Amino acid sequence: MSSGVGLATQEHGAVRKTRMSIINSIRSQLVPIHPQGYPFIGTFALASLVLFWLWSPLGWIGTVVTLWCAYFFRDPPRVTPLRDGLVVSPADGRVSRVTDVIPPPEMGLGDRPLPRVSIFMSVFNCHVNRSPVGGRIEKIAYRAGKFVNADLDKASEDNERNCFTIVLPSGVRIGVVQIAGLIARRIVTFVREGTTIGAGERIGLIRFGSRLDVYLPEGVRPLVAEGQTALAGETVIADIRSPDSARSFRGG
């Protein structure tokens, strides 16, 4: 009798472990959602229920919009290469322009043209922005403006923007600019002036479709080309020091 009970217990335990393994496998495939997205997802989900009650085809449209909203606010973990001098992409998207431009005056980076890498984020890209380098956030400057297409070059001057000036331990300064776009109407910042931040850590988010500009030190050659796809916190866009130095990685 006792052996039968023991066998049943073992079988139950095996089934439970199998179920937990399946659940854990499913969870590992799901991309986390940034908390900034919960109010939007909840609103669209509630609207979908109302639309189902009114007319089911509208409800299905609302469901698709809800799923897209969850997809938009995804916040996948990234593995950031760590080494002094590496500059990683602050955003997911397409490298739309690589050029030399005078940085916005509020950044305090001088009045001479600096290498600039612009990354355009469509509504299908992850919109969580990450720090391109490790250092201290010396300055954050917001400026109101227009909402023209962020893919246009004039958006850097005319559009609403939020600028970060980050000082590396070596004293070198890097500029990062969040630029609102045609659809984007809200720039969100996660950090404050004086904060010390690591490369690849989250610094903000823009809703819904926009662009980020990175201003590099004078003379630094960007390592990306126009049209290239970049991943926030992973794609190396420049190397201030010798590229032969050893690199390490961090997940985040």
Same structural domain, 86 and 21: no
Residue where a domain terminates, one of 32, 54, 72: 72
The two tokens of residue 209 are 């479709």
Identify the pLDDT of residue 151.
Answer: 55
Structural domain boundaries, residue 24: 2-72
Distance CA 175, CA 214 (A): 6
- pLDDT tens digit sequence for 191-225: 999 999 999 999 998 876 688 999 999 999 999 99
Residue where a domain terminates, one of 72, 87, 117: 72
Q: Identify the bridge partners of residue 163 per DSSP, sorted by sequence position.
A: 141, 177
The two tokens of residue 173 are 């300064």
From the candidates 89, 118, 131, 210, which is the catalytic residue? 210
Distance CA 170, CA 167 (A): 8
Instruction: Note if the pTM is more than 0.85.
Output: no
Q: Are 96 and 226 in contact (CB under 8 A)?
A: yes
Residue where a domain terminates, one of 39, 54, 72: 72
Distance CA 230, CA 232 (A): 7
Distance CA 218, CA 97 (A): 17
Distance CA 216, CA 176 (A): 9
* pLDDT confidence tier of residue 140, bands split at 50, 70 and 90: very high
- Tell me, what amino acid is at 246? A
Same structural domain, 144 and 34: no
- pLDDT tens digit sequence for 157-197: 667 889 999 999 999 999 999 988 666 557 888 999 999 99
The two tokens of residue 68 are 């897209």
Same structural domain, 60 and 90: no
210 catalytic, yes or no?
yes
